[in-house]
Structure 1
Amino acid sequence: MSLTADIKYGIHVLAFISWVVIFEILCGAIPVGKDTHPQIDPIAEYGWIGTITLYLLRFASLLVLPQCICNMLGLLLFNSFKEKVQLKAAPLLAPFVCFRVVTKGDYPDLENVEKNIDICFEAGIENFMFEVVTDKAINLPSRQKVREVVVPTTYQTKTGAKFKARALQFCLEDDVNVLREEDWIVHLDEETLLTTNAVSGILNFCEGGKHDFGQGVITYANGDIVNWVTTLSDSFRVADDMGKLRFQFSIFHKPIFGWKGSFVVTRFKAERAVTFDHGPEGSIAEDCFFSMIAYRDGYTFDFIEGEMHEKSPFTLWDFLQQRKRWLQGIFLTAHANQIPTRNKLFLALSLYAWAFMPFTSLQIFICPMFPLPRCLLLDAAVAFVGAVNLYMYIIGVVKSFSHKCRHNSWRLLLYIVGGLFTIPFNICIENLAVLLGMFGDKYKFYVVNKDIERDSRGPSPSQTPLLEV
């Protein structure tokens, strides 16, 4: 017997709360029974410098605390197990929607465009088009509702925006744009696959018209899985969408932690006002930079129900380079003079929580070797961070893989165990990304290969994904 969405949600809430409490007890943050914690004088034991260093490391672990709180609230307050998004109005009356895909044009076989068009028709939407923006002409087959936009090599933005930001800005130019101010744009990656639920969620968001920007959940385990390690690792990102992203958009209606670059829905008038033309520093993580500028200018955001499907990186090298670029792009965003501190404060906390990972992850070994006197509040906060982050992998796997094992709970359990086993790998990759990102050239844009046939052939020398300013 299949469980209803409400029952699944109830089990999840109970499991999450129980897990946090049990983890706090196991870590000794909640004393149970006789207190066996060593009573030591840290200054006498480690000296002033050693004591200060140990406490700084402990407090550095709490840089991620705001994220963990928002993830917890998002996962507890909202039911993410609903299987059907109900349309609030007739799709034939929906506003015009442009689905925009940006590609370099090296590989013209964009079969996902065809699939996504069929999904739109299946969802009942008629008032839409797909716009493929490319650096090189790919001569898409002539089909109704498809427009190809080629970005000239001579095109330059006013501030010198690069890469994807440059292409997106080109679409906003008066002599290129064909949209009206009240139309909507849905930004997709090349490999993004729509679902009827996502289309319904987008239509509900656009028809509501209350907010200018929106975003929803992306999962990575649909279809054939190319790399199990990276896909299981990305289950954390799925949980992040379900938790932090949903909470910030549903409660605050602001991108206090930024947002992703796909499943982005924008009102055309607002997108053109914010623009993607923010110089080289706004071109590495153009999505994050855009959200901060929109936040600065007072635009509001909302969460969109439904989910889209994408692929995790196919190789560990791509996985590493992807994380490195994100770190560098967020670093440039968090240090941009155009964005006031009040708008990027929580983004900066997230950045430095990530940047300090090579130090904070060492606490797995440091805490047992160099114990500190008990401080219930500090110990509970650190344990809470660990509990939430571990549970994120579990719920992310459940969300991503439950469709593959509807009639086999043991198989889902194996996926969960697999997700937990990828944590050491993920920590190593994130730490390496920090080292390469913080000390490397921050103005390079690495394009992750997510074409299965292309990946099996390998890139040719002329198709290297690494672009330089």
Structure 2
Amino acid sequence: MATENSFADNGTTCREHSQRWLSCNNLKHVSCVGLYGLLMYVVLGLFGVFSDLDSQPDNWETYGSLVTVILLTLRCLVVTPLLFSVFNFLGIVGFNLFPPKPRLQRSPLLGPFFCFRVVTRGLFPQLVKENIERNLAVCSNVDLQNFLFEVVTDCPIHLPKTSRVREVVVPPEYQTRQGTLFKARALQYSLDPEVNILSDDDWIVHLDEETLLTEDAVVGIINFVAEGRHDFGQGVILYSKGRVVNWLTTLADSVRVGIDYGSLRFTLKALHKPFFSWKGSFIVANAAAEKAVSFDHGPEASIAEDCYFSVVAFQKGYSFGWVEGEMYEKSTFTLKDFVQQRRRWMRGIYLTAQSQQLPWRYKAGPLLMSVSAFFMPLTALNIPLGFLLPITIPLYLNVVCGFITATFAFLFILGTIKSFSSRRYGVVGCGVLAVGSLLSSFPILLFEITASILAFWMSYDIEFYIVKKELEKKKYMPSIV
């Protein structure tokens, strides 16, 4: 239970403990950055940065003009995610990768009203009910008082009616002014004056059906709002807590955790803008700001409504910040769902990037992400061609390619380190999982390529694929470790 001592100075003993904890976390951070540097050195060596270029064969004489141009073009396409890699580098090096646990900066009894909003189709009612119960218990443990869980659903779930839970059913005939679809339609319905019960000073915390709160995340949200500097915020989501359903997709999602600590944290904490978009859950939003931005932007904004929303908020000049703490979700259970999930993200981000309603300067990040995803099948050819048809390329291009490769490899390692507890798996076990996440990147790349082909190279109807999120009741009892 949180008490006054939770947010007040507890004296010399607490300060000494914090100093020791901070020192330990700094040591972990320095060690991780050192590992990143070592990995960078090894990868640059594999890319031939330290080799004597003068002794290497001439491409034009070896392969002829046509093949050389093709090989050099494919190699140049690798640099498309360069800026994204730079932002990840800055987030990794510039901020502590092992921040101390957030401590309450003000009493949870004070402050604004929080609405934890879950939007669902209503296809997994038992999952929603169980997670609401778990999340209510977490809020109770932090002594949060001014809050409500609001479930916005297309199909009735029949949640127990309490003062802490509100179920909002979206009428089948409901249409927005711009014809917005899917999750964005439900989100907009919750903002309609006839439905909305929040004042402008209240705050909305967006969660997915499977999102589980932690006490650290709730504390981070309270502190973020109490700071009063930003209109929107977001934090880290982990995908490995509890029972792992699919090890391959879970290890693949470790890169998403690394990106949270890399580019997402840098853009929100240093730039205060969602340059490369953000996630659709663990969003902390001021109610007035969310209503002003709105989710009603038409069908093209309905596939990746989170990305489109962030660009509109960016354009309107709202400030974004970083929220300390972590929430938990599940990776996709099947590889089919993994491909369809990535396909939707790629297509939704592309629709945001090509939207005529958004100025180019605010959607540069989604545009770069779309270019990288579009050329992924071609850039992946560099892996086999590098062995079959090795070429000599300029030193600067080798350095860039090595930097990008090493950064993505480290994001897998970092995400694994942050996702899997050494207390549960042991130090050796975590090391094996880190290697496994790196190895998983190769088969996962094939599924990412499949998603790219489906999203860009084949016809795509406006649809919102729903991945399976609920196991059989006896199986779905994840422990939070």
Band the TM-score falls in, shorter-chain normalisation? over 0.9
In the TM superposition, 1:80-119 aligns within 5 A as 80-109=97-126, 110-119=129-138
Aligned partner of 2:435 in structure 1 is 417
Aligned partner of 1:53 in structure 2 is 70
Question: Whole-Å Cα distance in 2 between the matches of residues 48 and 282 of structure 1?
Answer: 44
Contact between 1:169 and 1:277, CA under 8 Å: does it hold in 2?
yes
* Aligned: 1:72 with 2:101: no
* Aligned: 1:319 with 2:338: yes
2:304 to 285, 308, 312: 285
Question: Whole-Å Cα distance in 2 between the matches of residues 182 and 456 of structure 1?
Answer: 41
Which segment drifts farther, 154-163 or 8-17? 8-17
Contact between 1:449 and 1:455, CA under 8 Å: does it hold in 2?
no
Aligned partner of 1:6 in structure 2 is 26
Question: Whole-Å Cα distance in 1 between the matches of residues 138 and 409 of structure 2?
Answer: 35
Question: Whole-Å Cα distance in 2 between the matches of residues 402 and 15 of structure 1?
Answer: 19
Aligned partner of 2:181 in structure 1 is 162
Aligned partner of 2:12 in structure 1 is none
Unpaired stretches in structure 1, ≥5 consecutive residues: 458-469
Question: Whole-Å Cα distance in 2 between the matches of residues 47 and 374 of structure 1?
Answer: 15
Q: Give the secondary structure class of the aligned counterpart of 2:172.
A: coil
The letter for the 2-side match of 1:396 is G
Deviation track 1:235-274 (CA, whole Å, cap 9, x = no partner) reads 0000010101001111111111001101011111111111
Question: Whole-Å Cα distance in 1 between the matches of residues 265 and 50 of structure 2?
Answer: 30
Deviation track 1:113-134 (CA, whole Å, cap 9, x = no partner) reads 1110110111121111100001
* Aligned: 1:40 with 2:60: no
In the TM superposition, residue 375 of structure 1 has moved relative to its aligned partner by: 1.4
The letter for the 2-side match of 1:447 is I
Deviation track 1:147-183 (CA, whole Å, cap 9, x = no partner) reads 1101001100001000000000001100100000111
Instruction: Provide the TM-score with structure 1 as the length reference.
Output: 0.93
* Aligned: 1:447 with 2:466: yes
The letter for the 2-side match of 1:76 is V
Q: Give the secondary structure class of the aligned counterpart of 1:93.
A: coil
In the TM superposition, residue 27 of structure 1 has moved relative to its aligned partner by: 2.2
* Aligned: 1:243 with 2:262: yes
2:419 to 387, 395, 400: 400
Aligned partner of 1:436 in structure 2 is 454
* Aligned: 1:182 with 2:210: no
The letter for the 1-side match of 2:262 is G
In the TM superposition, residue 75 of structure 1 has moved relative to its aligned partner by: 1.1
Contact between 1:103 and 1:135, CA under 8 Å: does it hold in 2?
yes
Contact between 2:422 and 2:430, CA under 8 Å: does it hold in 1?
no
Runs in 1 of length 4+ with deviation above 4 angstroms?
Answer: 454-457
Unpaired stretches in structure 2, ≥5 consecutive residues: 1-19, 477-481
In the TM superposition, residue 403 of structure 1 has moved relative to its aligned partner by: 4.8
Instruction: Provide the TM-score with structure 2 as the length reference.
Output: 0.91
Question: Whole-Å Cα distance in 2 between the matches of residues 12 and 122 of structure 1?
Answer: 33
In the TM superposition, residue 14 of structure 1 has moved relative to its aligned partner by: 1.3
Contact between 1:98 and 1:186, CA under 8 Å: does it hold in 2?
yes
2:215 to 186, 190, 196: 196
Contact between 2:91 and 2:262, CA under 8 Å: does it hold in 1?
yes
In the TM superposition, residue 39 of structure 1 has moved relative to its aligned partner by: 3.1
Aligned partner of 1:148 in structure 2 is 167
Superposition RMSD on alpha carbons, in Å?
A: 1.9
In the TM superposition, residue 80 of structure 1 has moved relative to its aligned partner by: 2.7
In the TM superposition, residue 347 of structure 1 has moved relative to its aligned partner by: 1.7
Question: How many residues get paired?
Answer: 453
In the TM superposition, residue 444 of structure 1 has moved relative to its aligned partner by: 1.1
Question: Whole-Å Cα distance in 1 between the matches of residues 339 and 284 of structure 2?
Answer: 28
Q: Give the secondary structure class of the aligned counterpart of 2:125.
A: coil
In the TM superposition, residue 336 of structure 1 has moved relative to its aligned partner by: 0.5
In the TM superposition, residue 38 of structure 1 has moved relative to its aligned partner by: 5.1
Contact between 1:293 and 1:339, CA under 8 Å: does it hold in 2?
yes
The letter for the 2-side match of 1:70 is F
Deviation track 1:89-127 (CA, whole Å, cap 9, x = no partner) reads 111112111000011113322210111011011112111
Question: Whole-Å Cα distance in 1 between the matches of residues 79 and 463 of structure 2?
Answer: 30
Contact between 2:422 and 2:429, CA under 8 Å: does it hold in 1?
no
Question: Whole-Å Cα distance in 1 between the matches of residues 353 and 55 of structure 2?
Answer: 41
Question: Whole-Å Cα distance in 2 between the matches of residues 168 and 178 of structure 1?
Answer: 14
In the TM superposition, residue 37 of structure 1 has moved relative to its aligned partner by: 6.8
2:364 to 345, 349, 371: 345
